[in-house]
Amino acid sequence: MPGRLRVLIVDDHPSLVRAISRLLAFDYEVVGSLSHGKGLLQAAQSLQANVILLDVNLPDIDGLTACRQVTQAAPEIKVVIFTAASDPDARRRASEAGASAFVDKIESGGELLSTFKSLDAGRN
Amino acid sequence: MHAQHASGRVDTCGADRGLWRAFRIALLGGLLVIAATPSDAQAALKQVLVLQSLHRGNLVLDQFVGDFRVQLDKRVGEPVNVVSMVVGPTGFVGPPNQAVVDYIRSIYANRRPPDLVMTVGGPAAAFARQHRRQLFPEVPLLFASVDERYLRGPPPTDNETAVAVINDFPRLIDDILRVLPETKQVFMIVGSGALGQFWRRVLEDEFTRFRDRLTFIWSDDLSLTDILGRVASLPSNSAIVYLTFGADAQGGAYADEPVLASLHAAAKAPMFGAFSSLFGHGIVGGSMMSIGGLARNTADVASQILDGTPPRSLRTPPQSPGEPIFDWRELRRWDIPESRLPPGSVVQFRGPSLWDEYKRAVLAAIGVLVLQSLLIAWLLYERRARQRAEIASSRNLALAADADRRETIAALTSSIAHELKQPLSSILHNAQALQMAAERSSSASAPTGEILADIEAEALLAAQIIDRHRTWLRTHQIQKTPIDIHSVVSESLALVAHDLGIRQIDANLNLSSTPCTVNGDHVLLVQVVVNLLRNAMDALAEAPPATRQITIGSKVNMADVEVSVHDTGSGLPAELVGTLFSPFVTTKPQGLGMGLAIAQGIVHAHGGTISAHNNRDAGATFTVVLPRRLAPGSDPSPVNDALAAGLPTPSR
Type of residue numbered B534: R
Helix (H) or strand (E) holding B619: none
The torsion angles phi and psi of B631, rounded to 5 degrees, stand at -70, 145
Same domain assignment for residues B326 and B184: yes
Is residue B122 located within the same domain as residue B269?
A: no
Based on the fold, state whether residues B586 and B627 are members of the same structural domain: yes
Task: Determine the average pLDDT of the residues in B532-549.
Answer: 88
Question: How close, in Å, is residue A115 to chain B by CA atoms?
Answer: 14
Report how many domains make up chain A. 1
Which of A22, A59, A84 is nearest residue B433 as measured by Cβ atoms?
A22
Q: How would residue B119 be classed by pLDDT, with cut points 50, 70 and 90?
A: very high
B466 in a structural domain: yes
Q: What is the pLDDT of residue B9?
A: 30
Q: Give the domain extent around B440.
A: 424-476
- Determine whether the interchain pair A16/B422 forms a contact, defined as Cβ–Cβ distance below 8 Å: yes
* 3 state SS of B26: helix
Do the Cβ atoms of A25 and B446 come within 8 Å? yes
Please report, for the domain that includes residue B245, its CATH number: 3.40.50.2300
Of B165, B181, B203, which closes a domain? B165
In angstroms, what is the C-alpha Rg of chain B?
57
In a domain, B272, yes or no: yes
B342 and B213 within one domain: yes
DSSP state of B121: S
Helix or strand or coil: residue B348? strand
Pair B458, B562 in one domain: no
Contact A109 B445 (CB under 8 A): no
- Residue A109 covered by a domain: yes
| For A20, nearest residue in chain B (alpha carbons) | B429
Classify residue B556: in a domain, yes or no: yes
Interface contact flag, A19 B423, Cβ < 8 Å? no
Q: What is the DSSP letter of B628?
A: B
- Whole-angstrom distance, CA of residue B489 vs CA of residue B467: 17
- Please check whether residues B614 and B513 belong to one and the same domain: yes
Residue in B255, B230, B228, B221 with CA at minimum distance from that of residue B61: B255
Among B429, B500, B502, B503, most A C-beta atoms within 10 A, so best to mutate, is B429
B78 and B139 in a single domain? The answer is: yes
Touching check for A90 and chain B: CB below 8 Å?
Answer: no
Q: Does B625 lie in the same domain as B498?
A: yes
For residue B247, what is the DSSP state?
A: B
Report the domain count for chain B: 4
Among the partner residues A18, A84, A109, nearest to B417 by beta-carbon distance: A84
* Residues B518 and B603 occupy one common structural domain: yes
Q: Is B610 a domain residue?
A: yes
- Same domain? For B227 and B92 the reply is no
Per-residue pLDDT band at A71 (split at 50, 70, 90): very high
Question: Which domain range does residue A58 map to?
Answer: 6-123
Lowest mean pLDDT among B105-114, B137-146, B396-405: B396-405
Q: Residue B596: CB partners within 8 Å, gap ≥ 6?
A: B531, B535, B580, B581, B585, B610
Q: Examine the domain organization and report whether B196 and B328 are in the same domain.
A: yes
Q: Which of B429, B445, B450 sits opposite A109 (nearest CB)?
A: B429
A61 touches chain B (CB under 8 A): no
The CATH number linked to B158 is 3.40.50
The answer to whether residue A1 is domain-embedded is: no
Which pLDDT belongs to residue A87? Answer: 73
Does residue A44 lie within any of the structural domains? yes
CATH of the domain at B575: 3.30.565.10
In whole angstroms, what is the distance from residue B593 CA to residue B570 CA? 18
Let me know whether B550 and B650 are in one domain. Answer: yes
Q: Is B630 helix (H, G, I), strand (E, B) or coil?
A: coil
* Domain endpoint, select from B348, B366, B386: B348
Mutual angle of helices B97-107 and B122-130, in 10-degree steps: 80
* Average pLDDT along chain B: 82
CA B266/CA B227 separation, integer angstroms: 10
The DSSP annotation for B541-584 comes to TTS-GGG-EEEEEEEE-SSEEEEEEEE-SS---GGGTTTTTSTT
How many Å lie between the alpha carbon of A113 and the closest alpha carbon of chain B? 10
Question: At which of B476, B496, B517 does a domain end?
Answer: B476
In a domain, A79, yes or no: yes
- The answer to whether A13 contacts B451, with C-beta atoms less than 8 Å apart, is no
Q: What is the pLDDT of residues B303-344, one digit of tens each?
A: 999 999 999 999 999 999 988 999 999 999 999 999 999 888
Interface of A with B in 68-87 (CB under 8 A): 84-85
User: B115 and B133 in contact (C-beta within 8 Å)?
Assistant: no
DSSP result, A40-78: HHHHHHHHT-SEEEEESB-SSSBHHHHHHHHHHH-TTSE
Q: Shortest CA distance to B446 belongs to which of A21, A30, A79, A54?
A: A21
CATH (domain of A111) = 3.40.50.2300
Say yes or no: A25 contacts chain B, CB-CB below 8 A. Answer: yes
Per-residue pLDDT band at B522 (split at 50, 70, 90) = confident
| CA-based nearest residue in chain A for residue B440 | A26
